[in-house]
Structure 1
């Protein structure tokens, strides 16, 4: 009888610790880096995209789970493939990287596995090892409850 409250506290503590470990906060993935105790944002990719007058229009097709991108700008040559990153605003486990292949000059197409519903953040960049190493990037945000297409542009600083 005397030990039961202590045992209950120990059990509840283990449950709370396991929930905290299993459902921790998601990590921010962008061009931020840590310098001492300060966080800095690098906008070089956005500035390069703006200097090249890059813009795009992305259109999702929920019927066949495809995505198409029309890219325009002052590029010396259009890349053969691009990477589209779909980032869920809440659950990082739902994030998806989609390879977009060039089907004609400035037109790209790829397959989507993520559910095309609710809101997503979009980022398009040339195919590379990491998003932070790409020469340029375009960003946008789509809400599938409103529509299936959205323009992409460099982030304004």
Structure 2
């Protein structure tokens, strides 16, 4: 006779195979929920909400850099040993009138929370000084401009190993009369 009819059949939920087959989709759903939560709750500091206006401001910034070139401006930045103050020597062509106040924008490449805006006042004969809100270490993007926003000097400062940063007036990567097209600096 047939012996299989006499065996008791277990319900499906007592067998391991349905649970093993369902585990994959369940894991994917849980991972999707966690990923969605992290995407919504975390702040992406690298994305600016005002990217369109920043794109429109590129031509204005380029014009300010060209104005700094025409004035022959260059600056040397120095941080004191404690990292609490910054001092700048600004120079230009002999007929260039230097402003009484400068704005220094120090931005971290990846962490917007560490950015600083420093007001620099003249000490006389081209020297300016200001107080830093936090010590600078690592890599920073530097932008120096006058209060009227007529000119601008920019550069990158890697603090370790360098005591100062020299900001020459140059327009990198943009072609034009008398402009270099490479990003290497003249040594």
TM-score if structure 2 supplies the norm length?
Answer: 0.66
8 Å CA contact 1:82, 1:101 repeated in 2:
yes
Q: C-alpha distance in 2, partners of 1:18/1:149?
A: 44
| Rg (Cα) greater in structure | 2
Please tell me the root mean square deviation across aligned C-alpha atoms, in Å. Answer: 2.9
1:110 aligns with 2:125: no
| Larger RCO (CA under 8 A, 6+ residues apart) | 1
1:11–1:115 distance in 2 versus 1, CA, 3 Å: farther
8 Å CA contact 1:81, 1:99 repeated in 2:
yes
Structure 1 residues without counterparts, runs of 5 or longer: 35-39, 129-133
Shift of 1:59: 0.5
| Local SS of the residue matching 1:146 | coil
8 Å CA contact 1:142, 1:148 repeated in 2:
no
Q: C-alpha distance in 1, partners of 2:159/2:110?
A: 16
Q: C-alpha distance in 1, partners of 2:33/2:123?
A: 54
1:70 aligns with 2:89: yes
Shift of 1:71: 0.3
Q: C-alpha distance in 1, partners of 2:159/2:23?
A: 52
The number of residues matched between the two structures is 147
Q: C-alpha distance in 2, partners of 1:8/1:60?
A: 53
8 Å CA contact 2:78, 2:86 repeated in 1:
yes
Q: Which has the higher strand share?
A: 1
Partner of residue 113, structure 2: 93
Structure 2 residues without counterparts, runs of 5 or longer: 1-12, 14-18, 175-187
| Local SS of the residue matching 1:113 | coil
Q: 2:155 aligns with which of 116, 132, 140?
A: 140
8 Å CA contact 1:83, 1:124 repeated in 2:
yes
| Local SS of the residue matching 1:44 | helix
8 Å CA contact 1:78, 1:105 repeated in 2:
no
Q: Which has the higher helix share?
A: 2
Partner of residue 122, structure 1: 142
1:155–1:27 distance in 2 versus 1, CA, 3 Å: farther
TM-score if structure 1 supplies the norm length?
Answer: 0.77
